[in-house]
Structure 1
């Protein structure tokens, strides 16, 4: 079995797809990190990320398959699910054969897996647009910690660039220590310095108290429906909801 190992970036994944066509031999699996329990029968190939090769694959997906396929691949990649990179690779090889009609083959395992992963990412992204809570730090910076199941920070940050374009803010994925930092000019994805993580405990936001009071005041005790609340506001996200503290 031939395994490709890449650095975990989207460019790295696209480089792996490029090498599967023009490299020494195509892989059986594409993986982000090496398994400690490797088989001695496996042949492991480390893929060096090449932005030029990645760009060629990116354009090929767009032109030879479709924009929807490109979006599905990127969103599925962000899911970080087990074996999703291999399914993406298989989906693309199938797509280069079938063209724009690839997404109609829903009985194909690789198409179904990529669609399912992409849908999960899009669903969580949409949900977090309503559940993300910003807190005003002592320096006037707005900080929003959260811990999503999938790696969606890059997807949701564009929404807040448009909505909060006149503020300095940080959206912090505490699970991955990945942050979208906006300075009213551009938004950059980066690791968050440790001192900022500690500073987040010291808030200077009177709106937090107002929001909690509003949340309590609109509650009609006779109509409380815990099941419906958890369906619209899953309990796994409550840790960073101001009104649930």
Structure 2
């Protein structure tokens, strides 16, 4: 082979190696799986270019995929370590942002946790004014104390100009807004077996964030909140609640609605129309304050209420 041909072959081989040299983690889409991926990245001394949920996997050309299994013990260690390093508020931002449906949310939370741990590891306590009273100050051997640094905690909670921190705060805010929408627009209907059922289709996995609220409001009444978009059901039995994956709810498998429920739905619909002021009708404002994706589950927005079974 001529020297020129050899150079071309070496260049092609190098390009091929670089083409398939990008690492991406794939996890099961749960919060435990994402935190387990953080643990594995430290354990293997790896820095993946992307972190992808299994359900919405869209790998780019040249990515080498590494499957990460969810491990509750590892996830718990990451959660505890990040909270100790950056504070409970930063952990809340990370957990809330991880519930977002945006494609880059897992990778953003992954970078956020790594960034916070790096800030805590590189903190300088020698010239800090709070060194004598701070429980997180480094000891003479250079090892940090057991508490998180107030400077790191403040940066992770308020440094929105940083691209890593700002991205997670934006995702967390969007999930919080979706939680508020669920609190406003969820409508329960009573079934004959005493169960209360509500359906919704949020654009974030926000049902876990509203279960405590409705458990407190309904007290000992069992209920189910079914998220059609994420195929997830929050089930409350009157004492505690759990999350369960559900492929779908078959209408013929559900008990019929009670007669009282029929009366209440009709009464609520009449009240909604009676209090409306026709001269002040503003469809643009209503659509902005009441997103249209919730309309098909709202009793007052249905033109014809479904027939009520009597079993």
**Structure 1 equivalent of residue 166 of structure 2:** 112
Cα 1:66–1:224 change in 2 (3 A) is: same
**Structure 2 equivalent of residue 73 of structure 1:** 94
Kept after mapping to 1: 8 A contact 2:187/2:199: yes
Whole-angstrom distance in 1 between the partners of 2:250 and 2:219? 21
Whole-angstrom distance in 1 between the partners of 2:118 and 2:248? 48
Q: CA deviation at 1:193?
A: 7.1
Q: CA deviation at 1:207?
A: 1.1
Q: CA deviation at 1:203?
A: 2.1
Cα 1:188–1:196 change in 2 (3 A) is: farther
Larger radius of gyration: 2
Whole-angstrom distance in 2 between the partners of 1:195 and 1:88? 32
Which protein has greater RCO, CA pairs closer than 8 Å, 6+ apart?
A: 1
Whole-angstrom distance in 2 between the partners of 1:36 and 1:107? 29
**Structure 2 equivalent of residue 208 of structure 1:** 265
**Structure 1 equivalent of residue 18 of structure 2:** none
Q: CA deviation at 1:73?
A: 0.8
Q: CA deviation at 1:18?
A: 0.8
Q: What is the DSSP-based 3-state SS (H/G/I as helix, E as strand, rest coil) of the residue aligned with 2:99? A: helix
Cα 1:94–1:38 change in 2 (3 A) is: closer
Which range moves more in the overlay, 75-84 or 184-193? Answer: 184-193
Please show how residues 12-51 of structure 1 align to structure 2 within 5 Å: 12-33=33-54, 35=57, 38-39=60-61, 41-51=62-72
Whole-angstrom distance in 2 between the partners of 1:186 and 1:47? 30
> Which runs of 5 or more residues in structure 1 are unaligned?
none
- TM-score, scaled relative to structure 2: 0.74
> Which runs of 5 or more residues in structure 2 are unaligned?
1-21, 120-151, 303-311
- TM-score, scaled relative to structure 1: 0.92
Q: CA deviation at 1:17?
A: 0.5
How many residues are paired up? 244
Does residue 146 in structure 1 map to residue 200 in structure 2? yes
Q: What is the DSSP-based 3-state SS (H/G/I as helix, E as strand, rest coil) of the residue aligned with 2:221? A: coil
Cα 1:226–1:42 change in 2 (3 A) is: closer
Q: 1:90 aligns with which of 111, 126, 131?
A: 111
Deviations 1:44-89 (A, max 9, x none): 2111221111111000111100111111111111002112111111
**Structure 1 equivalent of residue 299 of structure 2:** 242
Kept after mapping to 2: 8 A contact 1:138/1:202: yes
Which range moves more in the overlay, 175-184 or 193-202? Answer: 193-202
Q: CA deviation at 1:104?
A: 2.8
Whole-angstrom distance in 1 between the partners of 2:291 and 2:209? 20
Whole-angstrom distance in 1 between the partners of 2:108 and 2:269? 44
Whole-angstrom distance in 1 between the partners of 2:284 and 2:255? 31
Cα 1:37–1:170 change in 2 (3 A) is: closer
**Structure 1 equivalent of residue 285 of structure 2:** 228
Q: 2:177 aligns with which of 112, 118, 123?
A: 123
Cα 1:80–1:42 change in 2 (3 A) is: same
Whole-angstrom distance in 2 between the partners of 1:5 and 1:16? 8
Kept after mapping to 2: 8 A contact 1:143/1:200: no
Deviations 1:158-179 (A, max 9, x none): 1000000121111010112211
